[in-house]
Amino acid sequence: MEITVSDQKVFLIAPQVPFESAREKAWDQKMAAFGTMSRLLLRPKADEIKVASIEKRFEPLWEVKAHKRIVFDRGREYRVPVGDATVQAVTVAGADYPAAAGPPRHFIVRGMEHCEDDVRLERLVDGLSGEEVTAPEVTAAPREEITDLSTFAPADAIVVPPEVKASTVIQRIVTQLMTPYEADQVFEEGIEIEGLHMLYHPVYAFEYLWEARSKKAVVEFDAVTGKVNTDGRAFQQQMRRIFNRDVLFDVGGEAVNLVVPGGAIALKIGKAVVDHRKHQKKP
């Protein structure tokens, strides 16, 4: 089995919802951000809630496109039913096959199956929680490739590093693709990660202050999907780790060995990626 990672890129996804619309929709959900108990027991008034801070974030989302192809032969017995109890044998292509007792009565032919298993998978994985998500709006939105991560530092936004590693995402997709099969002879066997992309999609975060109770709450608005999250993360928890390409794409043979311990599986980095890394290291 050979596993190839051919394409590793980082993209910036363009916002699809204007900031003013995001602010209005987030404002409509501000009461929900303080929780059900606070709303029911303490009954805050709308004018008691104020906007304390506004933050634009680029949050990580892994996009994986994988292709598995296996070509193999396997021997198989076929049970072919016969017409009725009077049939004692059947001649096929010059060979006689005795009829066996049923029910139903049948004869057995052994043949060679020529098989192809060709599967394609596409997954989106939240770079913070590790959960698989469905967000066609993100994959369809305009995107711009970030070729140099060292210069990717927008002045008006925070870039959030992923909690989930690239190697973890590959392990998961390989596990999903490596279904067992029977074969007498294998001619072709491989999994290609055709695309391993980090998508940075814009999220607006609004921190609200309930002054009378000294309470804070955060509402997040995804500027691509339009989804609102009333249980947002606090601002000060963002971006505390090193962020570069080698850390982001931590892909190596060890990653796959964790999936199949001791298995004869090779993980290859595509030529384009290798050339890119060599170019990056030149003085």
Interval 16-37 mean pLDDT:
84
Q: How many CA atoms lie within 13 A of 103 on its CB side?
A: 1
Among 5-9, 192-196, 269-273, the minimum mean pLDDT is found in: 269-273
Q: Which residue has the higher pLDDT, 278 or 2?
A: 2
Strand-pairing partners, residue 143, are: 13
Are 97 and 109 spatial neighbours (Cβ–Cβ below 8 Å)?
Answer: yes
pLDDT > 90? residue 118 = yes
Q: Which of 7, 12, 42 is nearest to 199 (CA)?
A: 12
136-170 pLDDT, tens digit per residue, is 999 999 999 998 887 787 878 888 888 898 888 98
- For the segment 206-243, what is each residue's pLDDT rounded down to a tens digit? 998 887 778 888 899 999 999 998 887 766 555 545 46
> For 63-113, what is each residue's pLDDT tens digit?
999 999 999 999 999 999 998 889 999 999 999 999 998 788 999 999 999
SS3 9: strand
Lowest mean pLDDT among 185-189, 222-226, 252-256: 252-256
Contact 46, 28 (CB under 8 A): no
Between 238 and 120, name the one with better pLDDT: 120
pLDDT > 50? residue 256: yes
* Tokens found for residue 70: 């296996």
Of the chain, the end-to-end C-alpha distance in Å amounts to 37
Residues 67 and 77 sit within 8 Å (Cβ to Cβ): no
Can you read off the two tokens belonging to residue 262?
């001791």
E-strand stretches of the chain? 2-5, 8-13, 49-81, 89-92, 95-98, 106-126, 132-133, 143-145, 158-159, 185-210, 215-222, 228-229, 266-269
pTM of the model: 0.78
